[in-house]
Structure 1
Amino acid sequence: MIHPDIIRKQRIILCILLALIIMTIIVSLGLGYSSLSYDRLIPTLFGQGTFKEDFVLFSVRLPRIIITLLAGMTLALSGAILQGITRNDLADPGIIGINSGAGVAIAGFFLFFPIQAGSFVYMLPIVAFVGALVTAGLIYVLSYKKNVGLQPVKLVLVGIGFSMALSGVMIVLISSAERAKVDFIAKWLAGNIWGSDWPFIWALLPWLAILIPFSLYKANRLNLLGLNEPVAIGVGVSIEKERIILLLTAVALAASAVSVTGGIAFIGLMAPHIAKSLVGPRNQLFIPVAILVGGWLLLFADTIGRNIIEPAGIPAGIMVAIIGGPYFMYLLIKK
Structure 2
Amino acid sequence: MVQLEGVQQLTYLGIHRSDYMLHYKQEQDQVTQQQQHLLQVELNTIASSFGCISSLVSDMHRFLLNRFGAEMVALEKHYGIATAEYRTALPQNDAITEIPNALAAAYEQYGVKHAVVMFVVQPNETNAIDQRWLEYKLWEHHGIQVLRRTLAEVDAHGKLVERDGKRTLNLDGREVAVAYYRSAYTPNDYPTEQEWAGRTIIERSFAIKCPSIAYHLAGTKKVQQVLADPVILRRFMSEEEATQLESSFAGLYGLEINSPTVEEVKKMAIANPHAYVLKPQREGGGNNLYGDEVASAIQSMSPAELESYILMERIFPNENPAILVRNSATSSGPTISELDDAVYRCRSPLR
TM-score by length of 1: 0.27
Structure whose CA Rg is larger: 2
Higher helix share: 1
Q: Specify which structure has the bigger relative contact order, considering alpha-carbon pairs within 8 angstroms and separated by 6 or more residues.
A: 1
